[in-house]
Amino acid sequence: MRNTSLMNTWIIIKREYLERVRQRSFLVLTLLLPAIMVGAFLIPAKLSSMKSDKTQRLVVVTSTSQFGEIVRQQLMTGTKADGEKPAADNNKDADSADKPSRNYAIEVDANATEAERTALRNRATAGDIDGYLWLSDDAVAVRKVNYYGRESSGFMEKSWLSDQLDHAILLQELSQRGVAGAQAEALLKPVKLETVRLEAGRETKSDDKGMFYAIFAMVMLLYTAVIFYGVSVMRAVLEEKNSRVMEVMLSSATSTELMAGKLIGVGAVGLTQIGIWIVMAAVYAFPALAASVSVGEIRIPPLTLAAFALFFVLGYLLFSTVYAAIGAVITSEQEGQQLQFIIILPLIISVFMMGPVMRAPDSQVAVWTSMVPFFSPVLMYLRIAVQPPPAWQIALSLFLLVATIAGLLILCARIYRIGILMYGKRPTLPEIIKWLKYA
């Protein structure tokens, strides 16, 4: 009897898997989705880093020509994040992220009078110049500099201008106090903080930004996969229920075998798709990993990878079981869309909790929310990736998650057993409670 049950479940798993893998939409989605995701990140980044061919004609108005020349030099050369001047022209591409998105032609004006302000306003209106910076002694004293122009600079451009003006003003004040230019540059050189991660008594350099993006990508992959394939389970149940295929299938398999086959079959499709994406990402990233030290510093520990695989499977089982029960209860896809928000609400809350958990992974809020089964697939994995918690917390979270999945499987199997044969109208909550009691 047991062998027959396993055989029936295996047949259903095979049918669900092959039916979806052979669809043209599976191939298209598998190939196009990574391209769409990469394009969504790379295209805006590329566009934002592109330099405008137009030269910005700018007048810097100061009270002294000496200070005006300091500002002009600072805006023309710029300052890298580590306080060093940009390299020669043969290294322009490496420094493009530290430079403005346009070229400047800067004129110094040491006549900071109202008459000169009016004259510059007329020149800007006539198109002779694009704008002017008003850096009079009064403006510098209160640290409030105005830019007047025919078009407002973008946020990133204004941020760059503000950084350069801060640097120029500090250089001027140090110069007035007798500090030479080279000494002033040395004093203004910012501190570069590097993070060293301690793992089992070993020190390992880590790229915090790269690590954050890697963890965030894995969390979002878990989030989207659970939603996408959970909905697939609900739709599969609903389609077969409305087409009366269920009545034929129930003649040779039990409702529990049907639900288990659908959950595992659709889940295997998801794992296949994610496996293909991982291989594609590895092939694409291998040249960069071999050639770039900064990318090579992104090291994901084996515990993080194992936790991702474990919590992905458990998270899928948790939410897909509920989706299967919903599919057995509803009578149309519109009803499923209305109830879907209730199912994915814990996942949405988990994503919003990512920031606080990453900042303080050992806080009380992070610890106890990561124990909640509907939050733990995302939050406990995130804690393991950022700063591995004590083993007992991981074990308790897994125990609660597995126990919840087992309980939901029993309850949802009872709903599924009766719901897949119910047609006409959606049952009320009291009727569902009766199903749980008598099924």
Ranges of beta strands (E only) in 176-221 are 195-199, 202-206
Q: Give residue 28's Cα distance to chain centre.
A: 23
Residue that has been written with the tokens 């999945």 in this structure:
405
Give the C-alpha separation, 103 to 164, whole Å: 15
pLDDT at 393: 92
Name the more confident of 291 and 111.
Answer: 111
Is the CB of residue 188 less than 8 Å from the CB of residue 167? Answer: yes
Give 234-286 pLDDT, tens digit per residue: 877 777 777 767 667 777 777 778 778 878 887 788 778 878 877 777 776 55
CB count in 10 Å sphere of residue 310: 17
pLDDT at 426: 67
| One-character DSSP codes across 71-115 | HHHHHHH---TTSPPP--GGGTGGGGGGS-SSEEEEEEE---SHH
pLDDT band at 225 (very low <50, low <70, confident <90, very high): confident
Sorted by where each starts, the structural domains of the chain and their CATH numbers stand as 56-192 (3.40.190), 205-438 (no CATH)
Give 24-76 pLDDT, tens digit per residue: 878 887 777 777 767 766 776 666 666 556 777 888 888 888 888 888 888 88
Least confident of 72-81, 336-345, 373-382: 72-81
Please report how many Cα atoms fall inside a 13 Å half-sphere around the Cα of residue 384, on the Cβ side.
29
Whether the model pTM is above 0.75 = no
Ranges of beta strands (E only) in 162-288 are 195-199, 202-206
Give 391-423 pLDDT, tens digit per residue: 999 999 999 999 998 888 888 777 777 776 666
Measured over the CA atoms of residue 372, residue 375, residue 378 and residue 382, the dihedral's sign is negative
Give 100-127 pLDDT, tens digit per residue: 556 778 888 888 888 988 898 888 888 8
Task: Compute the chain's Rg from CA coordinates.
Answer: 31
pLDDT band at 184 (very low <50, low <70, confident <90, very high): confident
Average pLDDT of the residues of the chain? 75
Give 235-245 pLDDT, tens digit per residue: 777 777 777 67
Q: What is the DSSP letter of 85?
A: P
Q: What is the dihedral of CA 141, 142, 144, 146, to 10 degrees?
A: -50
Residue that has been written with the tokens 């804690």 in this structure:
383
Q: How many residues are recorded in the chain?
A: 439
pLDDT at 291: 44
